[in-house]
């Protein structure tokens, strides 16, 4: 029986979690109490065994059956003690997707591993299938109990650090494009997988091109059913949009750790807090964040029930507007100083970085334009746009890769 009672009051739950952390975690040195150094996998194993890694999941799947409000209490307790390893039911896309869409056998085999160590990258977009992901041409051909994968992916974040990728691949070329796709948990560290970093405007190389030639994935690593991967993928992309809608792609500032919005601190530091126009823009920016936070709560509730998951698109689109808007406000607060850069001008450097990084939220997980289409059709109920290739076998669909090309 768990030592964390799902019927406990928020304060009692907080005390219980802090007590557990004080028994297991050295918050000053940020390592387990019984170990001289921090072993990420070993620590996460302890958190997992306590049910604190994925507290919203049921006990039979390593969780505690906690509500969203209780999970926030747990997350805040971990933050109080500078501890990591909780809230993976919100942030670990690979584990979440396997839990939501994978078979019981796949969950039993892979969830303990995913929740204690590896990250998963997202092998979705291709050079000729970005906004229209159902147009993917990466092949998966069955050989015995494995599938042989050949194709190319692009804009893959953190591919070099990932042990696994969630892979969309074409398994039936005679079915319409949405019905011939299969979703796999793909082992990244194998022969036939080449990763090439992409240099970004921020100076980072977080995105990558992936070239896959005769790489293998076991049949048992299929997420969902054969040729029905588009449905499983919708679970993954919905959670990605929810995460992006929470602003995870932005950088945390020291002021946030102190409980103050970074824009307020920047305005105060630059003697702009009493400017009525600046104050109005700051108030509007904070209001946008509060409204989006409330919508995120709606979206999370929606995800707990079967049916549409379109509210995540609203959250993601709103966060794009928030990040671009706040970068513009910060630039105006700094004035000519925003033209500076480098370590001696940290405020300007951070503002310039945030202005460039905001485009990640506008593109990753489906562009802002795609989110507007989803919101129009699935939230507002407007008519769907025309699909000229609907119902056509995918091998007959015309593409820009050349006549007769099928992969």
Domain residue limits, the chain? 10-91, 120-227, 246-366
Residue 152 tokens read as 């190319």
Confidence of residue 390 (pLDDT cuts 50, 70, 90): confident
pLDDT in tens, 101-134: 999 999 999 999 999 988 899 999 999 887 788 9
Q: Which helix (H) or strand (E) holds 260?
A: none
CATH T-level fold of 120-227: Butyryl-CoA Dehydrogenase, subunit A; domain 2 (2.40.110)
Give the predicted TM-score (pTM) of the model: 0.84
Report the half-sphere exposure of 1 (CA within 13 A, side-chain side). Answer: 3
| 342-351 burial code (b ≥16 CB/10 A, e <16) | eeebebbebb
Point out the least confidently predicted range of 167-171, 183-187, 206-210: 206-210
**Residues with catalytic function:** 240
The single residue listed with the structure tokens 């076991």 is 218
Q: What DSSP letter does each residue of 35-88 carry, written as one string?
A: -SS--HHHHHHHHHHTT-SSTTS-GGGTS----HHHHHHHHHHHHHTT-----H
Point out the least confidently predicted range of 2-16, 156-170, 305-319, 321-335: 305-319
Q: What pLDDT is attached to residue 305?
A: 60
Q: Is 301 helix (H, G, I), strand (E, B) or coil?
A: helix
pLDDT in tens, 306-339: 555 677 888 889 999 999 999 999 999 999 999 9
Alpha-carbon distance of 16 to 198, in angstroms, equals 45
Give the single-character DSSP code of 163: S
């Amino acid at each position: 029986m768990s030592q964390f009672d799902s019927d406990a009051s928020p304060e009692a739950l907080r005390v219980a979690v802090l007590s557990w952390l004080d028994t297991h975690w050295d918050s000053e040195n940020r390592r387990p109490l019984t170990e001289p150094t921090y072993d990420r996998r070993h620590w996460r194993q302890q958190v997992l065994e306590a049910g604190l890694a994925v507290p919203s999941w049921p006990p039979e799947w390593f969780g505690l059956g906690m509500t969203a409000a209780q999970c926030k209490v747990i997350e805040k307790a971990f933050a109080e003690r500078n501890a990591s390893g909780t809230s993976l039911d919100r942030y670990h896309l690979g584990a979440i997707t396997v839990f939501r869409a994978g078979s019981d056998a796949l969950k039993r085999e892979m969830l303990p591993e995913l929740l204690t160590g590896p990250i998963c990258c997202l092998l979705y977009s291709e050079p000729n299938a970005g906004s229209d992901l159902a147009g993917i041409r990466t092949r998966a051909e069955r050989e015995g109990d494995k599938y042989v994968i050949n194709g190319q992916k692009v804009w893959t974040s953190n591919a070099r650090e990932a042990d696994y990728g969630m892979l969309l691949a074409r398994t039936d070329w005679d079915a319409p494009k949405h019905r011939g796709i299969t979703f796999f948990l793909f082992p990244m560290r194998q022969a036939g997988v080449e990763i090439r970093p992409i240099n970004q405007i921020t100076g980072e190389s977080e995105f990558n091109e992936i070239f896959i030639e005769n790489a293998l994935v076991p049949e048992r690593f299929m997420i969902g059913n054969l040729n029905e991967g588009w449905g499983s993928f919708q679970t993954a992309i919905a959670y990605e949009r929810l995460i992006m809608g929470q602003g995870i792609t932005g950088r945390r500032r020291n002021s946030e750790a102190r409980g103050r919005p970074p824009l307020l601190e920047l305005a105060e530091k630059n003697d702009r807090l009493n400017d009525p126009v600046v104050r109005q823009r700051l108030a509007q920016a904070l209001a946008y964040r509060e409204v989006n936070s409330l919508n995120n709560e709606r979206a999370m509730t929606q995800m707990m029930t079967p049916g549409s998951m379109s509210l995540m698109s609203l959250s993601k689109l709103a966060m794009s507007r928030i990040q671009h808007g706040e970068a513009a406000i910060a630039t105006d607060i700094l004035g000519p100083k925003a033209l500076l850069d480098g370590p001696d001008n940290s405020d300007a450097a951070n503002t310039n970085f945030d202005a460039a990084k905001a485009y990640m939220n506008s593109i990753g997980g489906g562009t802002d334009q795609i989110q507007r289409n989803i919101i129009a059709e699935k939230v507002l109920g407007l008519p769907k746009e025309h699909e000229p290739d609907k119902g056509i076998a995918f091998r007959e669909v015309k593409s820009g890769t050349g006549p007769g090309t099928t992969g």
